[in-house]
Amino acid sequence: MREDNSDIEVIKQIAEYEIEMRDGNSIALYNSLVEWGKGNNEVHTETLNRALNILNAVVLEDYRDQFVIRIPKGERFYRARLVEEKDYGELGIGLYPTSDRLYGFDWKGSKEPPKEMAKAGRLSYNNEPALYLATDEATACSEVKPKIRQLISVATFISEEELEIIDFSKLKYTRSLNSYDDKYSADIRSFLGKVRALFIEPVYNGDYCVTQKIAKYFREKGYQGFKYKSFHANGDNYTFFQENMRKFKWESSRIVINYATANLFLSMDKVEDYADIRNIENIEKEVSVKTRAKLFKQTKKKFCEEAKKRE
């Protein structure tokens, strides 16, 4: 029996309505999370509970293999810190020059700040220490937003234990999220995409309340940190919660200088093992040997002069 045109049109309208409903549901779910993160007591409880239940089911159950990863022991990570002029020559925190190297901050100067100095971050509250790391040196340097010709200390950390974390960094999944799964009655691909974007988008007023709340939600379930894309570079960022910070050991630090607007971080060492850090692959301009020698000499001189003042 063939369907007439009116039947086909009705089926088409129903399908379009269902898509609109799913889209609307995903937006409502996302908005409830945002309002919850902001501390809005008037958020619709039923919608919020459904949003959290879906987030939990998708990330920790149905698509766990896409969102939960294990960091192996021995993995390398990087953490950058701006070097201010007041830091020059501070031998007590590891900054010192040799004939061919400029060493960065030691473990104490490279690790997360103490509780009383810890500022709110994307996944941590004010006065709540957390260890923020990156997959590579370029990403770590870009995240601290250095000025032109500013010195940066780049430290290497190594994981000493296996850690289980939430991964929101993937741009593509090995198993596609089903946008129209009847189980959720919402476009979960759209919903998860909006949630993941919160971890990437820059926040200029320092208000990270929504991602802080989501991080706390998973932290209370026993997960040890998060992985997410960097907005400023091509790599990924990591945040490890306070109780897991001692599961990393500091290996070494070096000094680089932000030489150009495109984030070309010149090594301040004369040792070949320590190469420049290029954040953008198409940077072809080579800095002359003479320029490098001058930069090294000037920086070393400042370090030595400041160290003498402190004697």
3-state secondary structure of 36: helix
The pLDDT of residue 65 is above 90: yes
Domain boundaries, the chain: 76-164+229-309
**What is the model's pLDDT at position 256?**
92
Of 212, 196, 254, 192, nearest in space to 63 by CA: 192
The pLDDT confidence band at residue 283, using thresholds 50, 70 and 90, is: very low
Instruction: Give the H/E segment covering residue 77.
Output: strand 76-83
**Token couple for 209:** 């309340």
Closest Cα partner for 131 from 237, 254, 255?
237
pLDDT band at 27 (very low <50, low <70, confident <90, very high): confident
Question: Predicted confidence band at 56 (pLDDT cuts at 50, 70, 90)?
Answer: very high
Radius of gyration of the chain (CA): 24
Burial class (CB in 10 A: 0-12, 13-18, 19+), 121: buried
pTM above 0.85, yes or no: no
pLDDT at 182: 66
Model pLDDT, residue 94: 73
- Among 21-30, 33-42, 57-66, top mean pLDDT goes to 57-66
